[in-house]
Chains A and B, each alone.
Chain A
């Protein structure tokens, strides 16, 4: 990962920070693994704190680097994960179609958290209904999901990380929408919400951290 960063960095037009939110066990990590590495693991350990992946895309002749932050869904990690909301241009809120309560929590908890801690007022939000492969175990219909998304002004997509249904499409749709929002691209030219050192050699002189 460190190798590919340097040479291609100059070719990147935009770097966009994307955030994955949602209850524990809805499949945020699986979505990310499917999207970034085209992989699926039946047994995923619950995320502790945060995880992170990079994916490069070409959209509208633009080279876009997505930095996708996968947050822990468990309530107890909330204080920690909210620190990562800063600078996110796209928010993906995931629910599990076999668990209606996870959709309910998007409204009751996650959108509230986002209002409190999100820094980009225009950030593009998307509701993703995951695990559509479950068949009969499905408890939330397409209509319920899309109505919910429309009501809250979000994009909507139905996916399955397991059987690879529409995962990449969902991310691409989100990126398209972000690219159509000029206010989100103002500071996304080189970096977004994160610190990238231009030249590592000159780094130390700048930061004076000597406490002795």
Chain B
């Protein structure tokens, strides 16, 4: 963790300020440090899937040397390439990475929401009269409004059949009223949280994939897992970290395309986020209480 704190201590002269920012940073990064290291292990698997998709020759070679579990990338993933990249480059890399992560995450949420709407529409047409009561839908809308609020407003969703209350409240609640988790009868709040977690784009994984790909010739020259570990632990610093993030975005998109066509171009991404005036948090919360009372 000391490695991760260095950039913040370097950036802020005031230790208290550095601590505050580091704390915010760790709120997200802490899952990588939980016992069992499940988060990093998931990232190692994701890295394998990503490389297999964009550079199957490299993936096959690594697997053949016995490094197919990508344990050698553990340090890169855990410390977000802090040790591989110089300090000035770390500022650039992390800033680019986080900004891109936000944009891609917003776009992905929007995309998922659209998909769910389509599915839901199809299902509701089939189910006909067995539609759930409006009050439950409204509750779900309020729950959903919290963490994933930013992505909702875009699609002009047609009113769900029977959801009268949602119709009255306008486009935003409609969009959220058709959220998938409550529709399946799963407890609302935890499901929403889990959805948000799963949807978050781990761009770091793709940045590591891009860094490995940039050194593919050297990696292809390694004949054993030991050599791979040795090489990666003395990884040559990437020359251009901006290009590295760009490559990472490309790899991410290539993987998403294979994942059922959820890929989105950069312009689309920009249109899908940063609309603070449409943040529905307080309004929705009040609305849901009002709806919850009359059945």
User: Do they bind each other?
Assistant: yes
| Interface flag for B181 (CB, 8 Å) | no
Q: Are A67 and B226 in contact (CB under 8 A)?
A: yes
Q: Hey, which chain B residues are within 8 Å of A48, CB to CB?
A: 74-75, 78-79, 83
Chain A interface bracket (under 10, 10 to 19, 20 to 34, 35 or more): 20 to 34
Contact of A194 (CB < 8 Å), options: B56, B61, B63, B66: B66
Given contacts A1-B230, A195-B66, contact A83 B223 (CB under 8 A): no
Given the complex, which residues of B lie within 8 Å of A122, measured CB to CB?
Answer: none
Residues of A within 8 A of B60 (CB): 204, 207, 209
Q: B61 — which chain A residues lie within 8 A by C-beta?
A: 203-204
Contact of A80 among B59, B66, B74 (CB under 8 A): B74
CB of A52 within 8 A of CB of B63, answer no
| Cα distance, A79 to B75, chains bound together (Å) | 14
B83: A residues at CB distance < 8 A:
45, 48
Q: Please determine whether B36 and A200 come into contact, CB atoms closer than 8 angstroms.
A: no
B224 x A195 contact (CB < 8 A)? yes
Asked if residues B56 and A2 are in contact (CB atoms below 8 Å), the reply is: no
B230/A53 in contact, CB under 8 A: yes
Report how far A2 CA is from B33 CA in the complex, Å: 34
Q: Name the residue on B nearest A208 (C-beta).
A: B60
> Given contacts A1-B227, A5-B223, A211-B52, is CB(A79)–CB(B66) below 8 Å?
no
Does B226 contact A194, Cβ atoms closer than 8 Å?
yes
B122 interfacial by beta-carbon distance below 8 Å: no
Chain A residues contacting B78 (CB-CB under 8 Å) are: 48-49
**A80 x B71 contact (CB < 8 A):** yes
Q: Is the CB of B225 within 8 A of A2?
A: no
Q: Return A30 CB to nearest CB of chain B, in Å.
A: 15
In the assembled complex, B37 has its CB within 8 A of some CB on chain A: yes
Residue in A2, A50, A51, A203 whose CB lies within 8 Å of B64: A203
Which chain B residue has the least Cβ–Cβ distance from A199?
B223
Chain B residues whose CB sits within 8 angstroms of the CB of A54 once the complex forms: 226, 230
The CA of A49 and the CA of B78, in the complex, are separated in Å by 10
Write out the residue numbers on chain A whose beta carbons fall within 8 Å of the beta carbon of B35.
Answer: 76
Pair B37/A194 contact, Cβ less than 8 Å: no
Given known pairs A76-B33, A195-B224, A196-B224, the reply for A83 and B63 (CB within 8 Å) is no
Contact with A along B62-93 (1 / 0, CB 8 A): 01111001011011001100010000000000
Task: Give chain A's interface secondary structure class.
Answer: mixed
| Contact between chains at A2 and B63 (CB < 8 Å) | no
**Is A197 positioned at the interface, with any CB of B under 8 Å from its CB?**
yes
A2-B221, A51-B233 are contacts. A197–B59 as well, Cβ < 8 Å? no
- Chain B: which residue is nearest A49 at the CB level? B74
With an 8 A cutoff between CB atoms, is A77 at the interface? yes
Are B65 and A50 closer than 8 Å at their CB atoms? no
- Are B71 and A83 in contact (CB-based, < 8 A)? yes
Q: Which residue of B lies closest to A204 (CB)?
A: B60
Q: Which chain B residue shows the least CB distance to A197?
A: B223
- In the complex, B191 has a CB within 8 A of chain A: no
With A and B bound together, what is the CA distance between A168 and B145 in angstroms? 64
Taking CB atoms and an 8 Å cut-off, the chain A residues in 179-212 that contact chain B are 194-197, 200, 203-204, 206-207, 209-211
Smallest CB separation, B212 vs chain A (Å): 15
**Is the CB–CB distance between B225 and A195 below 8 Å?**
yes
Q: Is the CB of A209 within 8 A of B71?
A: no
How far in angstroms is the closest Cβ of chain A from B64? 5
- B66 touching A50 by the CB < 8 A rule? no
A72 to B224, CA, bound (A): 21
Partner of B229, one of A52, A79, A209: A52
CA–CA, A79 and B37, complex, Å: 7
The answer to whether A2 touches B227, judged by C-beta atoms less than 8 angstroms apart, is yes
Q: Does B3 contact A (CB under 8 A)?
A: yes
Are B79 and A52 in contact, CB atoms less than 8 angstroms apart? Answer: no
Also in contact, A207 and B224, with CB within 8 A (given A50-B229, A80-B37, A80-B74) = no
Q: List 12 A-B contacts (CB under 8 A).
A: A1-B230, A2-B222, A45-B3, A48-B75, A53-B230, A76-B37, A194-B226, A195-B64, A196-B223, A203-B64, A209-B56, A211-B52
Beyond the given pairs A45-B83, A195-B64, 17 more chain A to chain B contacts, judged by CB atoms under 8 angstroms and listed by A's residue number, are: A2-B222, A2-B223, A5-B223, A48-B79, A49-B71, A49-B78, A51-B230, A67-B226, A80-B74, A194-B66, A194-B225, A197-B223, A197-B224, A203-B64, A206-B64, A209-B60, A209-B63
A residues touching B (Cβ–Cβ < 8 Å)? 1-2, 5, 45-46, 48-54, 67, 76-77, 79-80, 83, 194-197, 200, 203-204, 206-207, 209-211
Q: In the A-B complex, list the 4 residue pairs whose CB atoms are closest, starting with the nearest.
A: A49-B74, A48-B75, A195-B66, A52-B229
